[in-house]
Structure 1
Amino acid sequence: MDLLTPLYPAERLHPHFASLIQPHVGRSYARNELLRWLNGFPNRDGKFIEEFQTTFNSSFWEIYLYAVFREYGFEFDWRYCAPDFVLSTPACTFTLEAVTANHANDATPEWAGKLTESFFDSIEFNELNRVAIIRLANAFISKSRLFQDKYAKHAHVQGRPFVLAMAPFEQPGFNLQAYRAIEALLFDYYVDEQEYLANPDAFPYGPEAKSLGSVEKDNGAEIELGLFKGSKFNHVSAVVFSNLATWGKIEAMSGNPGAFVSSVWSSPDGLIPKVACASEAPEAITDGLRIYHNPFATHPLPGEVFRRGGVVQVWANLAEQTLVGEQAEACLQSRSVLIALRTAPDDPI
């Protein structure tokens, strides 16, 4: 599958794709890494290339997931067009649907915002997280309905765990939400970064979680939080999530000697900042991945399916209204990449 030869007029190309095919030496490293992720991925419906070149994020998320599942050694069953993946592991066979949280029709796309110093200085985490929760909720509910209306009728889906793989791309600076929004949506477990930063002395043990109950949309409608705190969505076994499966992941894994990766990792001793060149392979493809298990799932996803160092798995302790995380003290928390680009007109696409 040739993803990188432009097939459409420049005005139709997504800004990320247009940037990807620019003739810079640094871009060649990223393109090669992307093609490594893509190896063996089928263009089942004949639309994948168009979607990658014109809308990008949802296709990129599917490519990332495919590369992750290949890294795990899962077996793919490509006989079925839906859900997106039918995967076999030593623990079980399960189905998985990929979905991205995207910007509202009248909102600024994630790629259009200018991430300047003033942007980061003025960020309001509660507003950023409110928008993220709303858009993640829209994505979750739409795929939940699709499962109930269509997927649940298929024999290859019935009796097996069904997993949603969700990625946020809903606004400029979306990666700053970390996992606050998804945990609020699924478990009504919200860490108020803004409250903590305004008065850290009031929280000697760090930011604390609280229940919000709901968030309000711009039109005044309320979105109830805690989708995994009851049986309404028991057909969703788990949610796979990453706010770090972005183009920065490609750059960090590209081996580019001109790419410098600044990252923060959790450890039993606290947060550890690291700076490394991409040629030093500073992170793995599964770093930043989080799995949220539904305690009410009709068909639970076994924990051993995604168990791996650096991959955080989360279960709810409903009695104590807390979350229990596996690998939470040994994982990638954030990452940024600085690239030195050198123009090379003859650099092959």
Structure 2
Amino acid sequence: MKQISGLRFDALAGYARQPATKHMFQEVAWFSHFDERVLGVLVKHWEDGDFAGAVFGRDRKGRYRAVELTVPFQENATLARIDLRRAMERVSGQPDESYFQGDEKGKPLDFFAPQAPDKEQNPSFRMLLNDEGHAAAKGIIKPLMHWFEDPDGNFVEQFQSSGFDARIWELYLYAAFVEMGYAFDRTKPMPDFTCEGINGIFCVEAVTVNPTVIDGAIQPPPQINTPDDILQYQREYMPIKFGSPLTSKLKKRYWEKPHVAGKPLIFAIQDFSAPGSLLDSRAGLPIYLYGIDYDWTHDNDGQLVITPREVKTHRWGSKEIPSGFFNLPDSEHISGVLFSNSGTISKFNRMGVLAGFGLENVTLLRHGSAVNHDPNATEPLPFIHRVDPTVYTESWSEGLELYHNPNSLHPLDPALLPNIAHYHLLEDGLLQGITPKWHPLVSHTQVLVGVKEL
């Protein structure tokens, strides 16, 4: 029996955890045996203070699920650990069929078995499939894929071809919501997630900002060469890009579906409009959502003074749209818009390294900027980190931001999405942000192959 990290266990078997489990038991230690044929977790009952272990094996769909609980509970962890070791050794020698649960439906998904023809495969998918620099991302996606339900029936084909960005965003959201303690009802295709947790239920529809296509050809993004170019990109171009998919989703009227009616509904959006666009697009989203931009200055005492300014429209070239998504008709049915600029392959690669799926000859360097909690600061804090499990930490939810709709009929309690940034529009027009102590705003991950020392 070999002890493993909690991150490793979560990557392999965390998707089996039910929402109430963490409220009943504290997980003390995690183990594997016989080359991860079986896994084990040592738990402590919160109320009684006694200990037990659970053994996990792969079911018919390849998902690690509990197959045995050690009984009776023990008064101390040492005795419970001995019981768990004996159970893991015994269960590891049983045939595969003994791990099957009898409730598995359908065939297991395999994201990497070719479905799309080679000429139609997305370059990012080919990189994930073949590049050793992204072996960690592939490694952490493999156990996840066994848990992912595909109500539309086309997830794998789209993951391998033109829909890769949208599908990797869905996988990221799935992992983040599981980390927060949610289970899912994926039996209905729309919206994408019905998240069920110990404290409540809410629904999520995943949205992506895609490249502009005219007559079948992808149009290049605008050139950004000067500070004024960046401002125009963030204030005009990106609000239009965000607005198109958000208003399209609004027209779907998900709130009228019986399983959604009366529940908080959020749109979760990420920008894939151009390579590298995530580095500059974030600032355009709140401007569009609230129809407000901000001017700032420092007074004579060095205190930051922020002045709201109403924005009525956004214009780029010949296209013009109204600003203020949360002021549109029917938008009151939307509780908020969830955003991240890190739900990408790089996120899976970093999390994969932390969970032990990385290769020894691959090094990841993450550099970017994070929230500066100085109330008078106007610039974020730069950072550069080596993704090393001995010194570096990260969570799936890190970097997520929820912009709450001030007009929502069904507001979402911020406690339902812990450890992320929450933004609320105040009556004076200012945007109040409650962010974690460490909250990256934007980052880039450099993959170095064959470099062991830096």
Q: Same fold (TM over 0.5)?
A: yes
With over 3 angstroms needed to count, the CA separation of the structure-2 counterparts of 1:127 and 1:54, relative to structure 1, is farther
- 1:225 Cα deviation after fit: 1.1
Match for 2:312: what amino acid?
A: G
Of 37, 41, 44 in structure 1, the residue corresponding to residue 148 of structure 2 is: 41
Report the secondary structure of 2:333's partner residue: coil
1:99 to 2:210 alignment: no
Following the alignment from structure 1 to structure 2, what is the Cα–Cα distance between the partners of residues 306 and 99?
Answer: 18
When residues 39 and 7 of structure 1 are mapped into structure 2, their CA distance, relative to the original with a 3 A threshold, is closer
* CA shift in 2, pair 1:244/1:303, >3 Å: same
Moved more, 280-289 or 47-56: 280-289
Q: Which residue does 1:215 correspond to in 2?
A: 314
**Shift in CA distance, 207/18, structure 1 to aligned 2, threshold 3 Å:** farther
Structure 1 length as normaliser, TM-score?
0.82
CA contact (8 A) 1:38 1:67 kept: no
What's the % identity of the aligned pairs?
24
Distance 1:98 1:152 in 2: 15
Does residue 244 (structure 1) correspond to residue 342 (structure 2)? The answer is yes
Check conservation: 2:368, 2:382, Cα contact below 8 A.
Answer: yes
Output the CA distance in 2 between the equivalents of 1:36 and 1:316.
40
The structure whose residues are more often strand, as a share, is: 2
Number of equivalenced pairs: 323
Residue 347 of structure 1 is matched in structure 2 by: none
Aligned partner of 1:285 in structure 2 is: 396
Within 5 A, what are the aligned runs for 1:195-344?
Answer: 205=304, 210-219=309-318, 221-229=319-327, 232-255=330-353, 256=358, 257-269=362-374, 271-280=380-389, 281-308=392-419, 311-317=420-426, 319-327=427-435, 330-341=438-449
Secondary structure of the residue aligned to 1:252 is: helix
1:273–1:177 Cα change, 3 Å:
closer
Partners of 2:271 and 2:281 within 8 A in 1: no
What is the CA–CA distance in structure 2 between the aligned matches of 1:263 and 1:217, rounded to whole Å? 28
Q: Compute the RMSD of aligned alpha carbons.
A: 3.0
**Paired residue secondary structure (1:157):** coil
Q: What SS class does the counterpart of residue 254 from structure 1 fall into?
A: helix
Specify every segment of 5 or more residues in structure 2 that has no aligned partner in the other structure, as ranges: 1-108
Equivalent positions of 1:114-133 (< 5 A) are 124-129=229-234, 130-133=236-239
In 2, the alpha carbon distance for the partners of 1:218 and 1:145 equals 25
Counterparts of 1:36 and 1:273, CA distance in 2: 34
Per-residue CA deviation, residues 35-85 of structure 1 (Å, 9 max, x unaligned), is 354451112222000110112011111101000110011121123221111
Deviation at 1:246, TM superposition (A): 2.0
Distance across 2 between alignment mates of 1:78 and 1:216: 38
Looking at structure 2, the residues matched to 233 and 277 of structure 1 have their Cα atoms a distance apart, in angstroms, of 42
Q: Tell me by how many angstroms 1:136 deviates.
A: 1.0
Change (3 A) 1:180 1:189: farther
Compute the displacement of 1:5 (Å).
2.6
Tell me if 1:156 matches 2:259. Answer: yes
Structure with larger RCO (C-alpha < 8 A, sep 6+): 1
Determine if the alignment matches structure 1 residue 181 to structure 2 residue 281: no
CA gap of 1:59–1:322, structure 2 versus 1, over 3 A, is same
* TM-superposed deviation, 1:191: 5.3
The residue type equivalent to 2:237 in the other structure is V
Structure ID, larger Rg: 2
Supply the AA of the counterpart residue of 1:168.
D
SS of structure 2 residue aligned to 1:228:
helix
Structure-2 residue corresponding to 1:145: 251
Mapped contact 2:293–2:308 kept (Cα < 8 A): yes
The 3 A distance-change label for structure 1 pair 208 and 177 is: farther
What one-letter code is carried by the residue in structure 1 that aligns with 2:264? P
